[in-house]
Structure 1
Amino acid sequence: MPAWGMRLLKFGLLGLALLLPALAVKLGDPLPPFALVDPKGQEVTPATLRKPAVIVFWASWCPVCRAEFPTLHKVAEETGVPFYVISREPKDTREVVLEYMKAYPRFIPLLAGKDKPHEVANRFRVTGQPWTFVVDGEGRVAAVFAGRAGREALLDALLLAGVDLP
């Protein structure tokens, strides 16, 4: 491929990377409708979600998710904010998700209920993983992270969502 073609390809990929977060549910938007279940079989919807909260879309095979989860879990432990995790990988069965989450007891995995987790990811317009949504006390999106959410940025987003940090 000629040099100009490579530059065009890189520019196109960069543009796409910048555009994808703009396609997701936006700041201030209410959560899209969904009905999933927690490991105890209790239905979780935007109305029943404990708020403020964090919703993380992930996949069991995702190396960035694996690298990020210990930091997210520590923030969940320190703040007491519920972290709901939803695998957007259709091949991640209930058993796979629950086994994976044994290392992260503060996370609340949401599993197939009336909806399938990957369908919920589509409603949030999530195009990759991890994607993290911080939800305020009114059930509106206070922050969105496409890719890895850094600890400090996540804590700042929780402050914006009305969380009293320790």
Structure 2
Amino acid sequence: MGKSLLGVLLALWSWVWAVQPGEKLPPFVLLDPKGAEVTPETMRKPAVIVFWASWCPVCRAEFPGLHRVAEETGVPFYVISREPKDTKEAVLSYMKAYPRFIPLLASEKDKPHEVANRFKVLGQPWTFVVDGEGKVVALFAGRAGREALLDALLLAGAELP
């Protein structure tokens, strides 16, 4: 089987395996940069959750566009590194360029890469759009296009400008 076909099959299989639209968010307890606990129940919603890694070139390419959407819409974008080697310091340093993002960090109860496993995320970036009830309305494995993301935010109940 060719490498490209294998890649496509793996991507399709992993997308089907992940938390799907209509499903509630899996439980987690992470910390925001101020040390406050963030759970699916305490998150402001509608919201966007992006799993990323500091070394990921696709994440680096995608983040400026995602940040513009966060600025324009006022919807909270929670970013969770799925890389176990990304320290709190590395994450916070990286996020200085993206002040509208809310980085979620390890707590005594959870580590970000463990939360990624609970979402069944197999790569990065993976973006989940969540409605006011904490249900996933859209999933983007890989880059999330601007128009598709805005459409998903509308489905989630976001009031867009």
The normalised TM-score by structure 2 is 0.97
Give the drift of 1:12: 3.0
SS, match of residue 96 in structure 2? helix
Q: What residue is the counterpart of 2:39 in the other structure?
A: 45
How many aligned positions are there? 160
For residue 80 of structure 1, the aligned residue among 74, 77, 88 is 74
SS at match of 2:121: coil
Answering whether residue 90 of structure 2 is matched by residue 117 of structure 1, we say no
Residue aligning to 1:157:
152
Stretch of structure 1 that moved more, 13-22 or 69-78: 13-22
Distance 1:139 1:72 in 2: 20
- In 2 relative to 1, CA 10–73 (structure 1 residues): closer, same or farther, beyond 3 Å? closer
Distance across 2 between alignment mates of 1:130 and 1:11: 21
Q: Counterpart amino acid of 1:95?
A: E
Show the counterpart of 2:131: 136
| Separation (CA, whole Å) in 2 of partners of 1:144 and 1:137 | 16
**Distance in 1 separating the partners of 2:77 and 2:5:** 35
The aligned amino acid for 1:66 is: R
For residues 59 and 164 of structure 1, the distance between their equivalents in structure 2, rounded to whole angstroms, comes to 29
Q: Offset at 1:14?
A: 2.2
Between the aligned partners of 2:4 and 2:93, the Cα distance in structure 1 is 39
2:23 to 16, 29, 40: 29
2:89 counterpart residue number: 95
Gaps of 5+ in 2: none
Aligned AA (1:38): D
Q: C-alpha root-mean-square deviation of aligned residues, in Å?
A: 0.9
C-alpha separation in 2, matches of 1:91 and 1:118: 9
Q: Which has the larger radius of gyration?
A: 1
The Cα of 1:8 is off from its aligned counterpart by 4.8
Query: SS at the partner of 2:150?
Result: helix
Superposed CA deviations along residues 98-145 of structure 1, whole A, max 9, x for unmatched, are 000000000000000110000000000000000000000000001000
| CA displacement at 1:9 relative to structure 2 | 4.7
Per the normalisation by structure 1, the TM-score is 0.94
Equivalent residue of 2:20, what SS? coil
